[in-house]
């Protein structure tokens, strides 16, 4: 729209746009401020403010549009909200010229007319500090400069709304009218990047992504053709816009007509720059320097997200539509060529505060089309210029060049060698190498041996590099070009151009050189090389010298990209503004409208990537974002093939030869049955297959057959089949489908013609392979049974995890089939040992079956098979492994091993060892009892097994089993009476429980029973418990006896001393004779009639064993009792009725 904003009576001085709230703020020379908003298609006044004391020097909104700061020349500052509320106001002591918000809105920078920068807090308005200015003097003391040199041109701070290319890159730009500028990462940066633009600066502006800084002003040049005013003899003043990267590297110079530039502003997407010159507004198209590359059908590009610090790198396969996204920290550059792309990143440790430019490291990561690393290097060369070919990778700083021959890595990757970087992030920055894979040299070096140690700067910096075949070309700031031969890095020649190049490119045979300089001027040079043999010892190699360089008669202004054809040294494409020009030599074709970045030029077709469109939604690239342009000769040939005779087409292609044109002509002639011309065209494009196909067609005696074969050649298989069907030659149709691999079509034809069974089986098998190759196992499993391909069927069932059907195959296959072993391996790999053993046994491989059981830790089955098939090694292996576990103190694992192998006695021994440790060392009686119960159950299981064998066999077998039992338990007394240990800790805990329950007499009786278990329990523990129980029971006689036992233990121990002191204290008050007798006989032995105590486990007269109650701890004589079916222990009916499980073994009653 075009509307005059009525309301200002004076000249408008300052305007500011609020992107979030869509408001425009303007101020005139009389101090009137108006806030405009769009209403019904018209800009209307929303708010008006006028101080009438001074005029506004600068006003800006915060990045979120919530606040506005207004700076008046007299030092008055007002901060308000978007709703019009005044937040605070303050009068500063200095006269103001500029202001700027910090990206987070916490600080406000004020520029004074004296050139100082003042930092204030945005909430409290407090003065924080004065910014140090280094660009005027370089020492931080700006007082030495004249007043004119200290006038500010602008303060611009990138707000980070579109993310950051690099977290360490400067975002704060301060520029003075003398053309000097400093770039800072924040307001406290004491090492800013300094720029001298050599301009009389008038305006400064960051682009919307903070990657490009535009500085506009006036420049004095010698005889500039675009100048307007002559200041002195031979000097002219030119309006110029200089473009710099965020790191201060000069990118491009843009000259404009007019006397002076008054202001610049970037378009929202950063693709255009509006320039206010006099009474005109010019729009400059700015091509962003995206980080991108194209190789082997894959487009690689990066973008940033404001919520993430990393670069998002997308590998987009334009043919398959696959996208692989990688997040890369500190990405510097992307290049691609051949079958690989290069990601250049800054090493992580270079961000330490002590790091400096000389010590910085950079990582070169070579990736395949999926983004997986193939190889990598660490270099110390700052990658200001990066170039890549299918063989070489060149990284250059201002003075150093690193050359890496990555061809060997590429070949290994193509052969399927695992992509583990052989260099393993090798640091190549220091040590020299003797091979030809890597070279590092200084641009001022004249001899090249290994790697240079020079890191000094040069007065003539590198500005561009290119590489093609075995040539490396490096351009320097003065226009000097160095030509090197590869791989031996030999300086062939030097020559000088009358410009400062920013882009170099060699054609496919290195006879042409294209140059685009910093003003966008495209020029072309012809190169002539001379070969020369160089011999060193027994080795010789060829070097080249530039004998002649000639500038060709072609120039193009405002160019920003170019590409040479891969298959024709005379063809190249140039991007000029938003037009694509294709040249043959120096003759251009008509331009094509495009803003694409050139990817490749091959087979008379140019492919370009519309990166501007891709970056609108970078995570979802579309196929239309990659466009193809045909050259004029290709378009004309296609048109002529449809309009003129084939002979005229032949003549046109002969005049404009190219393999692709010959191919088009050959195929067109083939369709028209012009075999002679088709034959000649195939010969001209070196298509051996086409030549042989023409010979084959001539041998066919039937025109219909020729038509069908031609249709098949053009992949029109359905039409070719129809031709054969009309000829009633279904056999030829089937053969055609077989040749092209269309087995679905073969099967369909066989069903119609009742084909032979062998071919039907092959069709089923091939269709199954088709689905299997695509991992569609549920489809392939439908076809393999029909072709009886059991080998592939095994794989399908396994992939589908249909183990039931896989098991059924075992019975279907004949015994001894090799496929049974494969089935066994499949089952073993997923831990299904039973089916694996079944398969191995049916296949006759007993040894593998046993080994599988061992690997799966199924020792019971392994031992069973070993005994059944006389496999003697299993016992040795079992005990070796068990001893290994025991030596490693892994007793639970060893116990589990013995249990699985049905070695009950061995398991019981180890469990008893654990139980003893838990009871005596760890003082865990409950755990000790459980372990002893477990050991006893193992012995019971062993005994029951022996008895079962005896019942099933003869008397001799039963005797052999009993002898086996005696041998297994005879060497360990804990196993002879399996429940002895469990009883000991059971009664030990029962006595303590009774003591706590104040059942003192029962506790003493149970404690006295523990005297029979002194081989399991500690004597100290047993008699300490008896002494305690008898003391509370006032049975001081028994208590005295217990203390006597305690005092008979080791001499001079603290326990003995304590026992003696306690005994003296007790028995001086309670003599042992004056006590009641708790432990006395209550019954007689049923065999001999000898009186028996309640705590005795056997008769003192006839040694008959007494059963004890596991609930009360008393001996059972004639009372009614219950017997556990598992452990065989007994309990009084009157005491056990309230228990649901056995108190001893805890089995259910």
pLDDT tens-digit series, residues 115-161: 999 999 999 999 999 999 999 875 444 444 566 678 999 999 999 88
Which residues, given as ranges, of the chain have pLDDT below 70? 1, 138-148, 222-235, 349-358, 408-436, 448-454, 534-542, 755, 872-874, 877-878, 880, 922, 947-976, 1050-1052, 1074-1082
Distance between CA atoms of residues 607 and 11, nearest Å: 50
Helices (H) and strands (E) in the chain, counts: 32, 59
The separation between the first and the last C-alpha atoms of the chain, rounded to the nearest angstrom, is 96
Residues 696-724 as b or e (16 or more Cβ within 10 Å = b): ebeeeeeeebbbbbbbbbeeebeebbebb
Distance between CA atoms of residues 746 and 763, nearest Å: 7
Instruction: Yes or no: say if 841 and 852 are a contact pair by the CB < 8 Å rule.
Output: no
Distance between CA atoms of residues 476 and 497, nearest Å: 10
Nearest CA to 1003 out of 1038, 977, 978, 979 is that of 1038
Map tokens 């250049």 to a residue: 344
Map tokens 């992307």 to a residue: 334
Q: What is the pLDDT of residue 140?
A: 44
Distance between CA atoms of residues 77 and 80, nearest Å: 10
- Distance (Å) of CA 967 to CA 199, 491, 926: 106, 90, 30
pLDDT tens-digit series, residues 931-952: 889 888 888 888 887 766 655 5
Q: Which residues contact 1111 (CB under 8 A, 6 or more apart)?
A: 1131, 1132, 1135, 1136, 1139, 1143
Nearest CA to 258 out of 202, 195, 179 is that of 202
Burial of 752 per CB tally in 10 Å (0-12, 13-18, 19+): exposed
Q: Which residues contact 831 (CB under 8 A, 6 or more apart)?
A: 856
Q: What is the pLDDT of residue 620?
A: 92
Residues 57-79 as b or e (16 or more Cβ within 10 Å = b): bbbbbbbbeebbbbbbbbbbbbb
Residue 430 is encoded by which pair of tokens? 């220091």
Q: What is the pLDDT of residue 347?
A: 87
Phi, psi of 2, deg, nearest 5? -135, 105
- Distance (Å) of CA 1092 to CA 61, 144, 381, 1084: 105, 119, 99, 5
Between vectors from CA 628 to CA 625 and to CA 634, what angle results, nearest 5°?
A: 170
Q: What is the pLDDT of residue 103?
A: 93
User: How many CB atoms neighbour CB 1091 within 10 A?
Assistant: 14
Distance between CA atoms of residues 73 and 112, nearest Å: 9
Instruction: Yes or no: say if 248 and 166 are a contact pair by the CB < 8 Å rule.
Output: no
Q: What is the pLDDT of residue 230?
A: 41
pTM, whole model, 2 decimals? 0.67
Q: Find residue 201's DSSP bridge partners.
A: 217
Q: What is the pLDDT of residue 204?
A: 95
Half-sphere exposure at residue 1146, Cβ-oriented, CA atoms within 13 angstroms: 10
Q: What is the pLDDT of residue 147?
A: 66
Taking each helix axis from N to C terminus, what angle separates 646-655 and 632-643, rounded to the nearest 10 degrees? Answer: 160
Sign of the dihedral through C-alpha 222, 225, 227, 233: positive
Distance between CA atoms of residues 427 and 1105, nearest Å: 83
Taking each helix axis from N to C terminus, what angle separates 757-773 and 743-753, rounded to the nearest 10 degrees? Answer: 150
Nearest CA to 575 out of 559, 599, 588, 587 is that of 559
Any alpha helices (H) in 437-541, and if so which ranges? none
Q: Which residues contact 296 (CB under 8 A, 6 or more apart)?
A: 338, 339, 369
Distance between CA atoms of residues 27 and 22, nearest Å: 17
Sign of the dihedral through C-alpha 975, 976, 981, 982: positive
Q: Find residue 529's DSSP bridge partners.
A: 546
**720 DSSP assignment:** H
Between vectors from CA 544 to CA 539 and to CA 546, what angle results, nearest 5°?
A: 160
């Amino acid at each position: 729209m075009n509307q005059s904003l009525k309301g200002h009576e004076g000249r408008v001085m300052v305007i500011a746009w609020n992107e979030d709230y869509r408001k425009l703020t303007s101020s005139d020379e009389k101090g009137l401020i108006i806030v405009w908003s769009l209403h019904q298609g018209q800009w209307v006044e929303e708010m008006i403010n006028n101080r009438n004391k001074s005029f506004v020097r600068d006003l800006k909104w915060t990045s979120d549009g919530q606040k506005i700061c207004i700076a008046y020349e007299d030092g008055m500052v007002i901060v308000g909200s978007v709703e019009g509320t005044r937040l605070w106001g303050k009068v500063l002591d200095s006269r103001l010229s500029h202001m700027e918000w910090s990206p987070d809105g916490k600080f406000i920078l004020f520029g004074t007319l004296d050139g100082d920068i003042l930092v204030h807090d945005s909430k409290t308005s407090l003065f924080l500090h004065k910014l140090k200015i280094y660009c005027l003097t370089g020492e931080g003391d700006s007082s030495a400069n004249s007043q004119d040199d200290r006038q500010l041109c602008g303060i611009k701070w990138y707000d980070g709304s579109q993310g950051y290319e690099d977290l360490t890159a400067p975002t704060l730009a301060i520029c003075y009218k003398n053309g000097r500028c400093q770039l800072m990462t924040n307001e406290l940066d004491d090492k800013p990047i300094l720029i001298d633009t050599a301009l009389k600066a008038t305006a400064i502006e960051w682009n919307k992504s903070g990657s490009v800084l535009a500085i506009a002003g006036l420049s004095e040049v010698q005889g500039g053709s675009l100048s307007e005013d002559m200041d002195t003899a031979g000097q002219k003043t030119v309006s110029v816009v200089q473009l710099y990267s965020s790191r201060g590297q000069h990118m491009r110079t843009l000259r404009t007509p007019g006397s002076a530039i008054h202001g610049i502003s970037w378009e929202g997407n950063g693709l255009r720059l509006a320039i206010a010159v006099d009474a005109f507004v010019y729009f400059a198209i700015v091509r962003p320097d995206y980080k991108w590359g194209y190789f082997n059908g894959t487009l690689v590009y990066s973008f940033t997200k404001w919520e993430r610090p990393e670069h998002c790198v997308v590998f987009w396969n334009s043919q398959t539509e696959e996208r692989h996204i990688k997040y890369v920290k500190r990405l510097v550059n992307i290049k691609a060529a051949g079958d690989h792309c290069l990601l250049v990143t800054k090493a992580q440790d270079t961000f330490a505060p002590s790091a400096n430019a000389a010590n910085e490291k950079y990582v070169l990561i070579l990736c395949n089309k999926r983004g997986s690393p193939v190889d990598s290097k660490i270099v110390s060369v700052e990658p200001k210029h990066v170039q890549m070919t299918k063989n070489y990778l060149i990284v250059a700083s201002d003075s150093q060049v690193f050359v890496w021959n990555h061809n060997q890595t590429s070949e290994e990757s193509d052969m399927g060698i695992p992509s583990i970087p052989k260099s393993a992030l090798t640091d190549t920055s220091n040590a020299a190498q003797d091979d030809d894979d890597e070279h590092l040299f200084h641009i001022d070096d004249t001899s090249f041996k290994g790697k240079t140690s020079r890191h000094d700067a040069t007065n003539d910096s590198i500005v561009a590099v290119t590489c093609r075949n075995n040539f490396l070309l490096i351009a320097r700031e003065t226009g000097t070009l160095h030509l090197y031969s590869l791989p031996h890095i030999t300086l062939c020649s030097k020559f000088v151009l009358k410009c400062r190049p920013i882009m170099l490119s060699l054609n496919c045979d290195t006879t042409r050189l294209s140059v685009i300089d910093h003003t966008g001027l495209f020029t072309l040079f012809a190169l002539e090389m001379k070969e020369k043999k160089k011999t060193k010892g027994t080795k010789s190699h060829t070097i080249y010298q530039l004998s002649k360089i000639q500038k060709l008669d072609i120039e193009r202004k405002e160019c920003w990209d170019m590409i040479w054809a891969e298959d024709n040294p005379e063809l190249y494409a140039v991007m000029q503004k938003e037009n694509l020009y294709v040249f043959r030599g120096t003759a251009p074709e008509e331009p094509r409208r495009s803003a694409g970045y050139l990817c490749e030029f091959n087979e008379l077709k140019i492919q370009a990537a519309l990166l501007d469109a891709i970056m609108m939604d970078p995570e979802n690239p579309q196929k239309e974002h990659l466009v193809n342009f045909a050259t004029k000769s290709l378009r004309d040939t296609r048109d002529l093939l449809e309009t003129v005779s084939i002979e005229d087409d032949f003549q046109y292609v002969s005049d404009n030869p190219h393999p692709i044109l010959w191919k088009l002509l050959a195929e067109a002639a083939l369709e028209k049955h012009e075999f002679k011309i088709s034959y000649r065209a195939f010969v001209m494009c070196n298509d051996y297959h086409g030549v042989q196909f023409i010979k084959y067609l001539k041998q066919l005696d039937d025109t219909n057959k020729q038509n069908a074969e031609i249709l098949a050649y053009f992949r029109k298989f359905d039409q070719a089949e129809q031709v054969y069907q009309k000829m009633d030659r279904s056999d030829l149709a089937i053969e055609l489908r077989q040749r092209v691999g269309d087995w679905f079509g073969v099967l369909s034809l066989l069903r119609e013609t009742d084909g032979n069974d062998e071919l039907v089986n092959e069709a089923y098998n091939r269709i199954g392979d088709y689905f299997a190759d695509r991992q569609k196992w549920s489809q392939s499993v439908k076809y393999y049974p029909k072709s009886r391909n059991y080998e592939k069927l095994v794989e399908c069932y396994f992939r589908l995890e249909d183990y039931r059907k896989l098991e059924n195959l075992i019975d279907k296959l004949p015994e001894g089939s090799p496929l049974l072993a494969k089935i066994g391996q499949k089952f073993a790999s997923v831990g299904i040992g039973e089916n694996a053993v079944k398969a191995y046994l049916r296949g006759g491989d007993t040894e593998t079956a046993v080994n599988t059981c061992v690997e799966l830790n199924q020792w019971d089955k392994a031992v069973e098979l070993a005994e059944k098939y006389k496999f003697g090694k299993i016992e040795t292996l079992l005990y070796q492994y068990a001893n290994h576990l025991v030596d490693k103190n892994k007793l639970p694992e060893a116990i589990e091993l013995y249990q699985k192998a049905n070695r009950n006695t061995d398991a019981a021994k180890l469990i008893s060892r654990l139980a003893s440790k838990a009871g005596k060392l760890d003082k865990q009686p409950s755990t000790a009892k459980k372990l002893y119960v477990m050991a006893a159950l193992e012995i019971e299981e062993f005994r029951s097994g022996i008895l079962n064998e005896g019942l099933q066999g003869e008397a001799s077998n039963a005797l052999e089993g009993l002898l086996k039992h005696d041998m297994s338990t005879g060497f360990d007394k804990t196993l002879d009476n399996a429940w002895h240990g469990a009883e000991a800790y059971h009664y030990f805990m029962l006595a303590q429980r009774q003591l706590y329950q104040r059942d003192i007499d029962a506790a003493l009786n149970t404690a006295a029973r523990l005297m029979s278990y002194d081989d399991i329990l500690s004597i100290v523990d047993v008699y300490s418990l008896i002494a305690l129980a008898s003391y509370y029971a006032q049975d001081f006689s028994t208590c005295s006896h217990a203390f006597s036992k305690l005092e008979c233990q080791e001499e001079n121990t603290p326990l003995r001393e304590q026992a003696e002191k306690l005994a003296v204290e007790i028995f001086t008050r309670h003599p042992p004779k004056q006590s009641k007798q708790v432990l006395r006989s209550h019954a007689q032995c049923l065999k001999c009639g000898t009186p028996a105590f309640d705590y005795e486990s056997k008769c003192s007269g006839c040694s008959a064993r007494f059963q004890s109650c596991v609930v009360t701890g008393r001996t059972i004589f004639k009372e009614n009792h219950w017997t556990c079916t598992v452990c065989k222990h007994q309990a009084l009916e009157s005491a056990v009725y309230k228990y649901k499980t056995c108190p001893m073994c805890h089995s259910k009653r």
